[in-house]
Amino acid sequence: MKTIEQLNLKGQRALIRVDFNVPLDEGIVDDNFRIRAALPTIKYCVEQGAAVVLMSHLGRPKGQVVQDLTMLPVAEELESLAKRAIVFSQDCVSDQAIGVSVGLEPGQIHLLENLRFYPGEESNDPEFSGKLAQHGTVYINDAFGTAHRAHASNVGVVSHFREKGIGFLMAKELEFLRDRLETPEKPFTVVLGGAKVAGKLELIRKLIAKADRLVIGGGMAFTFLKAQGAQVGRSLVDASLLDEAADILRIAESQGIEIFLPRDVAAAASLEKGVAWGVTPLDGLKADEMGVDIGPETCMEFAEALDGAATIFWNGPMGVFENPAYQTGTEMIMSVIASATSTGAVSIVGGGDSASAIEKLSDPRYFTHISTGGGASLELLSGNVLPALEVLA
């Protein structure tokens, strides 16, 4: 694959697939992390004398025009961040929108309307791809968050371009999620959390082949605990994966990997607001209670597991961090990883809810790399081929 610095951009129209799939709150961008992550690529193209056409999806309109999912709030946020005017088209493949792109002067930036307002985006329709291609003379993919999908804007469109490559964000994702974790500096500690085990099995198996310590928290921990015969009450358990979980623990133990699982938890009868909760040892968890965060003893043990690590990979919060009462474990993990990073450790955060937690509770600058892709990062780390990168090779 060519990187953006290998492309001739002067006088060209750079059609860039970005990932501006950001949360909105009453028509205002609530978290601009993904927009900020794309700015270096956009700025570079402008500095090289190119006009820029940006295309992205937002939400899941399922091929229909949904006004609540218009890209207009994104255009306004981008204008504020980039400190320059943004031309916005209320369509992505109309003759008018294509005409705007063709008429751009070097340095101008044009943002297209939501790609997923058309069913042709997700179905990778050739006609839709061809229309998108008319916006640019050079193609750049900087949308890692969608790289695991074979859509028109990141796969179908590519065949229409001779000059094509990846942007700075995509290159950085590959550097850390592929290259750095292929041969991580030791000791290597893996911290996994989040609600579900499903979808992470390949990732876990691949990482334990390299890890020195494996820390498992969040809702997914209870499937592993249940596999060990522990009392988990009404905590989230994927019964269909108990054998898989037990096998992973056996493999890790046979390879001499230190395994850390919760010893105590914050427990509640439900996740409804106002429900009383308390800290209890795992064996004290009542049959009608569920674990909603790791407890203080577990926090200390997990912190010790991170001590001295040269490389840290973290994916998934330690509890239901959206509720302030249940964010202590996630805050602790972030604080310890940030501290380790400040003393030289390489910290790689696997995107998704972990990135959201950092935006809410910490500062992205304290971590070496925070991925912009949830599903894409899991696929890449699991060793799977990403369609959007395969077509650029």
- Residues 359-383 have a mean pLDDT of 91
Q: What is the pLDDT of residue 225?
A: 97
Catalytic residue selected from 36, 84, 196, 210:
196
pLDDT in tens, 97-140: 999 999 999 999 999 999 999 999 999 999 999 999 999 999 99
In the structure, what pLDDT confidence band is assigned to residue 196 with cuts at 50, 70 and 90?
confident
> Which of the following is catalytic: 34, 116, 200, 226?
34
Task: Report the side by side order of strands in the sheet with 277-281.
Answer: 277-281, 264-268, 290-294
Residues of the chain with CATH 3.40.50.1260: 4-169, 177-381
Catalytic residue among 59, 63, 284, 375, which? Answer: 375
Q: Is 375 a catalytic residue?
A: yes
pTM for the model:
0.92
Q: Per CATH, the architecture of 177-381 is what?
A: 3-Layer(aba) Sandwich (3.40)
- Give the Cα separation of 92 and 95 in Å (integer): 9
pLDDT in tens, 207-254: 999 999 999 999 999 999 999 999 999 999 999 999 999 999 999 999
Active site residue 352: yes
Instruction: Tell me which of 145, 218, 352, 373 is the catalytic residue.
Output: 352
273 flagged as catalytic: no
**Helix pair angle (353-361, 328-342), 10° resolution:** 80
CATH superfamily of 4-169: Phosphoglycerate kinase, N-terminal domain (3.40.50.1260)
CA triple 88-89-94, angle to 5 deg: 160
